[in-house]
Amino acid sequence: MTLLLRLSSDTAADRVVPPSGYTARLTGFTAAAMAFLAVFAVALSLASGRLADRWQSSLAQTATIRISAPAEQMTAQTEAVLAVLRTTPGVASARVMDDAEQRALLEPWFGPDLPVEALPLPRLVEITEDSAGFDAAGLRMRLAGEAPGAVLDDHTRWREPLVAAADRLRMLGLTAVLVIAGATAAMITLAANASLAANAQVIRVLRLVGARDTYIARAFVRRFTRRALAGAAAGTAAGMLAIALLPEADAAGAFLTGLSFRGAGWLWPLTIPPLAAIVAFAATRAAAFRVLRGLM
Amino acid sequence: MIELAKVAHGYGGGDLFAEVSLTLSPGAFFFLTGPSGAGKTTFLKLCYGELMPSRGDVNIFGSSLRRMSRDDIALARRRIGIVHQDCQFLDHLPVSENVALPLAVAGRTPQDVGADIGELLAWVGLAEQAAALPPSLSGGERQRAALARAIITAPDVILADEPTGNLDWEMSLRLLTLLVELNRMGKTVLIATHDLALIRTAKAQVPARVLRISGGNVQLAGADL
């Protein structure tokens, strides 16, 4: 609210600083470019978050038991495994995958005509956990005793690195937003310093007639904050349009095609222009007071 | 009003002046004279707090300059009308807005203080130039615009640095008449000038005292000016 009040129009105060060309264009362009990049960083962060959540939720509730045994023992070990699972707390259901399902799993690598029944493939048992989950270490010990050819794969080994990678990607997106904010602040500070230096005579006159530092600083701060807000709004709009025009993610969609906003996620980039204005406000104010403190 | 107590100031090597003590009391009219480079402008800057003395102190409206914050100095300057030697203006604003600038920075309007910009500009002979930009004014017009800006807040003290430096004799007399009029209204006036004819003319109208900067001192000059 304070920022909005400070940005509200004060024609007299605004007019004391002459309109300047290149610092205005530089600030607007910088804010627009940074906002454009920030939209992609936010999209990356949100997409990574969705990916991590999807992997987490879709894999966390399932596990697989792989039974490798001589053909004559396969049925017995499979029955033993199912018996163990029926008495294992935390297992909601368990079922043996049939040949058709196993063929479907292998099809991407070996084609549709794989003679599954003629190959010494292990038997797969799919386990669905209940909300409490099962004790994987305890189950492994029981399986070792009842069905020596059974190996429990609770997906942890490859799920955790994937989720960690997605989480890191999300953090990378957020870090990129912070870096962009910092770079914006640095560039606006440079532009503000240039403007303050170019208007040294204006500042001298204002001090001479009794202007306080806050009055002088406000004239510069308003101008730069408005430019940053306008530039960032344009950059954000362009970024959102670019995201909207990306191809839709399909079922086998690669990660990049999922780089978009979903539902309320479209509201996130709308926070970029006000944040850019806040960054510009703080950067210009700090620069103005630093310069003014150097004057008597 | 403004009191200098054992003030010394210089640039780099040595002191321009040392141990200067002076009181600008209410309603006083001073001339400050001396050769070029003697320190007249520096002296004025010390009076309105643009420079901090190397030693000693300047008391402005009861406050020590050494203890005044930047805001305090700004507020004190609203009670001091300054006519700068080079008449600094905001060149992108018309004369009328430049003249009203001391009110604008104080968040006031001419109506708040009962001032009429048009009337004031007419008083200094610039009614026709109200909408003109400062770069289009002649030297004399700039001096008078600077004077109008200096007095719009009805300041207690007027400090003028070579206010007639760019003026012909007729215009100098006109400006002097304005300053004498203000002094008669009770304003303290200090004019830095090396124009001895102007000083003699003024002394015929007001009991002006003449200060001379010489040899690092500021002394009251004799009556032979």
The token duo for A203 is 């500042």
Residue B131 located in a structural domain: no
Q: How far is A13 from chain B (nearest CA, A)?
A: 8
DSSP A227-268: HHHHHHHHHHHHHHHHHHTSPPP-TT--TGGG-S--GGGGGG
Q: How far is B219 from chain A (nearest CA, A)?
A: 27
Q: What is the pLDDT of residue A59?
A: 67
Q: How confident is the model at residue A11 (pLDDT cuts 50, 70, 90)?
A: low
Residue B98 located in a structural domain: no
Identify which of B70, B73, B88 has the shortest CB distance to residue A205. Answer: B88
Q: How confident is the model at residue A251 (pLDDT cuts 50, 70, 90)?
A: very low
Residue B33 located in a structural domain: yes
Place of tokens 């009770």: B186
A210 inside 8 A of chain B by CB: yes
Q: Which helix (H) or strand (E) holds B32?
A: strand B29-33
Identify which of A12, A205, A215 has the shortest CB distance to residue B89. Answer: A205
Residues of B with CB under 8 A from a CB of A: 49-52, 70-71, 73-78, 82, 84, 88-93, 97, 101-102, 104-106, 149, 153
Check residues A106 and A190 and name the one with the higher pLDDT: A190
Check residues A37 and B216 and name the one with the higher pLDDT: A37
Query: What's the domain range around B211?
Result: 1-79+157-164+186-225
A213 inside 8 A of chain B by CB: yes
Mean pLDDT of A266-292: 91
Note whether A210 contacts B89, CB cutoff 8 Å: no
Residue B50 located in a structural domain: yes
CATH number of the structural domain spanning residue B74: 3.40.50.300
CA closest to A217 among chain B residues: B105
Place of tokens 């006159």: A205
- In the sheet that B80-83 helps form, which strands lie side by side, from edge to edge? B80-83, B157-161, B188-192, B29-33, B209-214, B217-220
Structural domains counted in chain B: 1
Q: How far is B12 from chain A (nearest CA, A)?
A: 18
When scoring A208, A290, A295 by the number of chain B Cβ atoms within 10 A, the one with the most, hence best to mutate, is A208
Phi, psi of A93 (to 5 degrees): -155, 160
Query: Looking at beta carbons, which residues of chain A come within 8 Å of B77?
Result: 207-210
A62, A129, B127 from A162: Cα distances, Å:
16, 20, 79
Facing residues of B57 across strands? B5
Phi, psi of B145 (to 5 degrees): -65, -40
With 80 as the cut, is the pLDDT of residue B14 above it?
no
A201 inside 8 A of chain B by CB: yes
Burial label for B120, CB within 10 Å (0-12, 13-18, 19+), is buried
Note whether A292 contacts B75, CB cutoff 8 Å: no
Rounded to whole angstroms, the Cα distance separating B51 from A6 reads 31
When scoring A204, A206, A209, A215 by the number of chain B Cβ atoms within 10 A, the one with the most, hence best to mutate, is A209
Residues 6+ apart with CB under 8 A from A65: A81, A85, A94, A124, A125, A127, A143, A150, A151, A152, A153
Q: Could you report the per-residue pLDDT of A92-105, keeping only the tens digit for each?
A: 888 998 888 888 88
Q: What is the pLDDT of residue A249?
A: 59
Note whether A18 contacts B70, CB cutoff 8 Å: no
Note whether B101 contacts A16, CB cutoff 8 Å: yes
Mean pLDDT of A218-245: 92
Residue B120 located in a structural domain: no
Helix (H, G, I), strand (E, B) or coil at A215: helix
With 50 as the cut, is the pLDDT of residue A193 above it?
yes
Q: Could you report the per-residue pLDDT of A135-175, keeping only the tens digit for each?
A: 888 888 998 888 888 898 877 767 778 778 888 888 888 89
Q: Could you report the per-residue pLDDT of B89-130, keeping only the tens digit for each?
A: 999 999 999 999 999 998 888 777 777 888 889 988 899 999
Q: What is the pLDDT of residue B69?
A: 93
Residue B142 located in a structural domain: no
Q: What is the pLDDT of residue B222?
A: 60
Q: Could you report the per-residue pLDDT of B124-154, keeping only the tens digit for each?
A: 889 999 999 999 998 888 988 998 999 898 8
Rounded to whole angstroms, the Cα distance separating B98 from B134 reads 8
Residue B37 located in a structural domain: yes
Rounded to whole angstroms, the Cα distance separating B60 from B80 reads 10
Name which of B83, B50, B84 is nearest B65 in CA terms: B50
Check residues A154 and A221 and name the one with the higher pLDDT: A221
A11, A98, B97, B100, B154 from B90: Cα distances, Å:
15, 88, 9, 11, 21
Name which of B1, B2, B3, B9 is nearest B213 in CA terms: B9
Q: What is the pLDDT of residue B225?
A: 47
Q: Where are the beta strands (DSSP E) in chain A?
A: 62-67, 91-96, 123-129, 150-153
Residue B198 located in a structural domain: yes
Rounded to whole angstroms, the Cα distance separating B148 from B154 reads 10
Q: What is the pLDDT of residue B224?
A: 42
The token duo for B20 is 């200067």
Mean pLDDT of B55-77: 93
Note whether A208 contacts B97, CB cutoff 8 Å: no
